[in-house]
Chains A and B, each alone.
Chain A
Amino acid sequence: MSGGSARSLAKGSAPPGPVPQGLIRVYSMRFCPFAQRTLLVLKAKGIGHEIVNINLKNKPEWFFTKNPFGLVPVLENSQGQLIYESAITCEYLDEAYPGKKLLPDDPYEKACQKMVFELFSKVPPLVTSFIRRQNNEDGSGLKEELRKEFSKLEEVLTNKKTTFFGGNSLSMIDYLIWPWFERLEVLELNECVDHTPKLKLWMAAMREDPAVSSLLIEAKAFRGFLDLYLQNSPEACDYGL
């Protein structure tokens, strides 16, 4: 699997050629939580893939032909088909590739995973607001809002009486929400799970998963990236390489 630690492509770069048969390409960025969802599913399903990292602070012009919104992740297959929006890419991979199904076959169980996903939907913008707050703003209001959202997720685990959000084994919904929980520690937001013990246990169980642990981002590297990213530095996306 090539490219996970490859330098990003930026403005002025040549577009990559067609995707070789037998592989699927993901346009990504090493620190992006949305792209991490897609990488987790690729890993969990053992799908042969290549990674092309994009410099999100200095995007190549050709990248907008892959996704008009100019965002990662984007999937491109050898037929030239393009799929974007992280949740859509994950579902596409689960449907198009054989092996372990991450989404349940049962229509109701599948709907439940999508309802939990909706329940989670306020978390990414809250975390982004927290990261982007000005230096003299204390984040306690945002932390309180995050705690509220986490309580909703705790309730799901309490009602289901299972370790994971889809049951007793890890499944799609767990991978979709993981990247934000991975970042809590480095963002000093761990205290937001102090009152949600099941969520804490879930986080520990997630770290045991082979796909999750193989994609864990080193705290120092993330911090280095984030500092540069917040300064809009075009070097941010390649931090540590």
Chain B
Amino acid sequence: MEDATRTFGKGSCPPGPVPEGLIRVYSMRFCPFAHRTRLVLRAKGIRHEVININLRNKPEWYYTKHPSGQIPVLENSKCQLIYESVIACEYLDDAYPGRKLYPYDPYERARQKMLLELFYKVPHLTKECLVAIRCGRECADLKLALRQEFCNLEEILGYQNTVFFGGDCISMIDYLFWPWFERLDVYGIADCLNHTPALRLWTAAMKQDPTVCALLIDRSIFLGFLNLYFQNNPDAFDYGLTC
């Protein structure tokens, strides 16, 4: 995988300028927000390099890329910086030729953006469930809330009668949702999809997509990362790297 490189941490040298013809993404192998950007880079066949950041031990130079040190951040060879995962994904779709992930039609584009609004509670809820479970706490209420959000998405698929959220082909909105659904199993909350059959069909269809497939994170490596992460081990982010 393109992003199988060791993280940069405190005391590391800043990477040089981005070579012409490439775009750089500052990332972390297990981060769902950065995952969105990597999906789009892959789906559009955009030549890129990945620099992984140690999120528990951030390099001082990284704050010159993002004011509060968040990922993902895109940097191009003109030294332009773009952040917020959704903004980065839209930038890539606009700036690069080939397959368009957002629809051309203004109303259909607006529909995808309205769908994204429906999703906004999911990242926070999935994270809260993960933390609760890992800390041995009760999370029935959180799971209930997450199931409710999934019901809302189920309703959309039912109403549209399409496989994907943007129609019968995969598009931007599906990639923007996907990272959290990929993580349900490894977070221990896959049962939150028990009452949403259309959403289960969607996840099965997503796993058939070549881009999604190519970036699927190995389950045992992810679990290894999570174990170290919750022990506050700063080596967590490099777990599973062979070099």
Binding site for B on A (CB under 8 A): 77, 81, 83-85, 88-89, 91-92, 95-96, 107-108, 110-111, 114-115, 118
- What is the minimal beta-carbon distance from A119 to any residue of chain B, in angstroms? 9
- Given known contacts A111-B82, A111-B87, what 16 new A-B pairs fall within 8 Å (CB)? A83-B114, A85-B117, A91-B110, A92-B107, A95-B109, A107-B91, A107-B94, A108-B78, A108-B80, A108-B82, A108-B91, A108-B95, A110-B90, A114-B84, A115-B87, A118-B84
Bound together, the chains give a CA A91 to CA B116 distance in angstroms of 15
Contact A83 B80 (CB under 8 A): no
What is the size, in residues, of chain B's interface with A at 8 Å between Cβ atoms? 19
CB A19 to nearest CB in B, in angstroms, measures 14
Closest 7 CB pairs of A and B: A107-B94, A95-B106, A107-B95, A96-B106, A92-B110, A111-B91, A114-B87
Cβ contacts A to B, 7 pairs, < 8 Å: A77-B107, A85-B114, A92-B107, A107-B94, A108-B76, A115-B83, A115-B84
Q: Does B113 contact A (CB under 8 A)?
A: yes
Chain A residues near B113 (CB, 8 Å)?
A: 85, 88, 91
Which B residues touch A83, using CB under 8 A?
A: 107, 110, 114
Q: Between A and B, how many residue pairs show CB distances below 8 Å?
A: 52
What residues of chain A lie closer than 8 Å to B80, measured between beta carbons? Answer: 108
B106 touches A92 (CB 8 A): yes
Compute how far the CA of A102 lies from the CA of B84 in the bound complex, rounded to whole angstroms.
21
How close is B238's CB to chain A, nearest CB, in angstroms? 30
Residues of A within 8 A of B109 (CB): 91-92, 95
CA distance A110 to B95 in the complex (A): 10
B87–A88 touching, CB < 8 Å: no
- Taking a contact as CB atoms under 8 Å apart, the answer to whether A115 and B114 are in contact is no
**Closest residue of chain B to A93, judged by CB?**
B106
CB nearest neighbor in B for A155: B67
Residue ID in chain A nearest B80 by CB atoms: A108
Set of chain B residues within 8 Å of A77, measured between Cβ atoms:
107
With both chains docked as a complex, state the minimum distance between the C-beta of A74 and any C-beta of chain B, in angstroms.
11
Nearest chain B CB to A51 CB, angstrom units: 20
A150 to chain B, nearest CB (A): 16
**Cα of A115 to Cα of B68 in the assembled complex, Å:** 14
- A81 vs B91: C-alpha distance when bound (angstroms): 26
* Pair B94/A110 contact, Cβ less than 8 Å: yes
The minimal Cβ–Cβ distance linking A10 to chain B, given in whole angstroms, is 26
